């Protein structure tokens, strides 16, 4: 039997993994936890969840997953990074940190750009391609400081870029998995369908 | 300026969810905080003394000096937690004003109030509290705690009490899940928990906030044990910086927490770690020395 539901992996090293899996199941996707290189094999898309980017980056290196992440990216499959996942997908041309930056999207990031936990907030966020303001929870959130020419900005808050996409990669500084508003996750599902078409043609 | 809401339940509980699968380490200065961050800690707890030294020092244990907390906050980019005494409104407000990311209303410190815990829902900063059973867990959530942890027996390097506490909470949730709705008020009365929260736990089949292990984690295997018993993550107090080689211990405990079911890897990372902290047998502790009975 041919199943139409997409299989989406959630990188399961540290952070809000079960929240993403719960939300993906709600929108009819087949969600699985990804811990080892072989777990990437049958995925249509991958989510790098929120958590601590330093801890997740270190675990990616220790579990020897960096190469598998890069080949997954190069294969053109869709990747969605939320919060810490956004940081990990960024480049680091001006900052020079020892922490892992995968460079999947041409942007520089300000970690904890919105401040410490006491400044964490929720808001209704205008999001390009979504017809209503989305419920958005920002937790010690980063913002995107600058983007390259090929990056499409999807949302801003207080004049700071908080969501963007380039090619097969989508990133948000907020946490769609913490709300019952699945619009951004559905946006990612559509992106997966597009990447499948691109790879088939 | 766009409309935004700070300090909501979702923002406070969400912060704890981002810590899941991670290790939160006790540190007493900037240097230890940097070691913890480099090892992959998801947060540090800034203290004047780790629990085992609090035991040795005796006397009254209070909130850490703000100088130490500030030093730690300036040293690392990961979240910084700090402890306030149970019921000590002013210590908690001071920590909130300093911009600490999470407050632990902790039995490790000498309680300031033997009757009342803090009304944590009134604060913008989230709180974590200890619990030994489901009733205690739901009383703390009722007051506004956004995260829970087992109490264990802090500063002993002995995991037995933390195991007792997580097993107790989980078995009570299992019992509650099997109850019919007309039994819930009596169940709430029996465990001394708010009725609405009892109903919520039955519906969810779990606590509405994350529950970490704490109080006695001394080795990578201890961390793995607590994860396999259902803890969402691990606090390590004295276990790291009272061990022979803190850097190695810190890294090994982080790896063990993520890979808690990979026993071949656990064996590998447990090699050549040097001596863990020296442990204390719980029955050798006098009643007055037991920290877990502080708070209710």
pLDDT digit string, tens, across residues B137-164: 999 999 999 999 999 999 999 999 999 9
List strand residue ranges (DSSP E) for B121-165, in order: 127-131, 147-150
Mean pLDDT for chain A overall: 95
Active-site residues of A, by number, are 83, 175, 177
pTM of the model: 0.96
Q: Indicate if B56 belongs to the active site.
A: no
Q: Which of B17, B20, B83, B248 is labelled catalytic?
A: B83
Per-residue pLDDT averaged across A96-103, rounded? Answer: 88
What pLDDT is stored for residue A182 in this prediction? 97
Give the model confidence (pLDDT) of B72-131 as tens digits.
999 999 999 999 999 999 999 999 999 999 999 999 999 999 999 999 999 999 999 999
pLDDT at residue A199 tops 90: no
Interface mutation vs chain B, best among A17, A18, A19, A55, most B CBs within 10 Å:
A55
Q: Taking 50 as the threshold, does the pLDDT of residue A1 lie above it?
A: no
Residues of B in contact with A12 (CB under 8 A): 21
Instruction: Determine whether domain B9-270 maps to CATH 3.90.1300.10.
Output: no
Quote the distance between the C-alpha of residue B75 and its chain's center: 22
Q: How many CB pairs under 8 A join A and B?
A: 119
| pLDDT mean over A76-97 | 91
Three-state SS for B210? Answer: strand
Spell out, as residue ranges, where chain B has pLDDT lower than 50.
none
| pLDDT given at position B287 | 83
Average pLDDT of the segment spanning A87-100: 85
Nearest CA to B222 among B247, B240, B210? B240
Among B95, B41, B23, smallest CA distance to B64 is for B95
Rg of chain B on CA atoms, in Å: 18
All structural domains of chain A, each given as residue ranges with its CATH number in brackets, are 7-200 (3.40.50.880)
Are the Cβ atoms of B101 and A62 closer than 8 angstroms? no
Q: Which residue of B has its CA nearest to A117?
A: B101
Closest CA to A55 of A12, A96, A119: A12
Strand, helix or coil for residue B229: coil
- Annotated domain spans of chain B: 9-270
pLDDT at A2: 46
Chain B contact for A109 (CB, 8 A cutoff): no
B167 or A92: whose pLDDT is higher?
B167
Rounded to an integer, the average pLDDT of A165-171 is: 98
DSSP per-residue letters across B52-77: HHHHHH-S---SPPHHHHHHHHHH-S
Instruction: Confirm or deny that A22 is annotated as ligand binding.
Output: no
What average pLDDT does range A73-89 have in this prediction?
97
Q: Is A20 on the interface with B (CB under 8 A)?
A: no
Query: Taking Cα atoms as reference points, which of B287, B294, B277 lies closest to residue B53?
Result: B277
Angle between helix B30-39 and helix B66-75 axes, rounded to 10 deg: 40
Query: Is residue B7 within 8 Å of residue B124, measured between CB atoms?
Result: yes
Mean pLDDT of chain B: 95
């Amino acid at each position: 039997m041919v199943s139409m539901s997409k299989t989406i992996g959630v990188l399961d090293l540290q952070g809000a993994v079960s929240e993403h899996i719960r939300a993906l199941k709600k929108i009819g996707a087949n969600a699985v936890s990804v811990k080892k290189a072989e777990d990437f094999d049958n995925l249509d898309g991958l989510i790098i969840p929120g958590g601590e980017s330093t801890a997740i980056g270190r675990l990616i290196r220790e579990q020897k997953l960096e190469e598998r992440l890069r080949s997954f990216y190069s294969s053109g499959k869709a990747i969605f990074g939320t919060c810490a996942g956004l940081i990990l997908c960024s480049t680091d041309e001006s900052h020079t940190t020892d922490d892992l930056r995968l460079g999947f999207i041409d942007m520089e990031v300000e970690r904890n750009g919105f401040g410490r936990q006491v400044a964490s907030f929720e808001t209704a966020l205008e999001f390009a391609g979504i017809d209503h303001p989305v419920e958005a929870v920002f937790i010690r959130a980063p913002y995107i400081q600058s983007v390259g020419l090929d990056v499409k900005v999807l949302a801003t808050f207080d004049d700071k870029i908080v969501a963007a996409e380039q090619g097969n990669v989508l990133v948000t500084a907020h946490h769609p998995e913490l709300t019952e508003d699945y619009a951004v996750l559905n946006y990612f599902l559509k992106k997966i369908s597009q990447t499948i078409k691109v790879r088939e043609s | 300026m766009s409309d935004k809401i700070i300090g909501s339940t979702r923002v406070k509980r969400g912060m704890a969810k981002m810590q899941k699968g991670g290790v939160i380490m006790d540190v007493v200065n900037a240097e230890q905080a940097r070691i913890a961050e480099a090892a992959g800690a998801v947060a540090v707890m800034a203290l004047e003394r780790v629990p085992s030294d609090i035991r040795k020092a005796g006397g009254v244990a209070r909130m850490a000096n703000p100088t130490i907390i500030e030093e730690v906050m300036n040293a690392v980019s990961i979240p910084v937690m700090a402890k306030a005494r149970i019921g000590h409104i002013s210590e908690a407000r001071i920590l909130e004003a300093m911009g600490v990311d999470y407050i632990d209303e902790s039995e490790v410190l000498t309680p300031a109030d033997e009757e009342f815990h803090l009304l944590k829902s009134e604060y913008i900063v989230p709180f974590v509290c200890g619990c030994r059973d489901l009733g205690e867990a739901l009383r703390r959530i009722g007051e506004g705690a956004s995260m829970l942890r087992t109490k264990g027996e802090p500063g002993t390097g002995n995991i037995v009490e933390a195991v007792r506490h997580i097993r107790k909470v989980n078995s009570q949730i299992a019992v509650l899940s099997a109850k019919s709705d007309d039994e819930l008020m009596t169940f709430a009365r029996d465990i001394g928990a708010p009725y609405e929260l009892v109903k919520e736990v039955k519906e969810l089949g779990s606590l509405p906030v994350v529950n970490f292990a704490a109080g006695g984690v001394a080795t990578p295997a201890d961390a793995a044990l607590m994860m396999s018993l259902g803890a969402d993550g691990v606090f390590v107090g004295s276990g790291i910086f009272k061990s022979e080689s803190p850097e190695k211990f810190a890294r090994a405990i982080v790896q063990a927490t993520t890979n808690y079911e990979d026993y071949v890897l656990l064996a590998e990372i447990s090699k050549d770690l040097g001596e863990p902290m020296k442990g204390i047998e719980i029955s050798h502790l006098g009643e007055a020395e037991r920290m877990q009975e502080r708070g209710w």
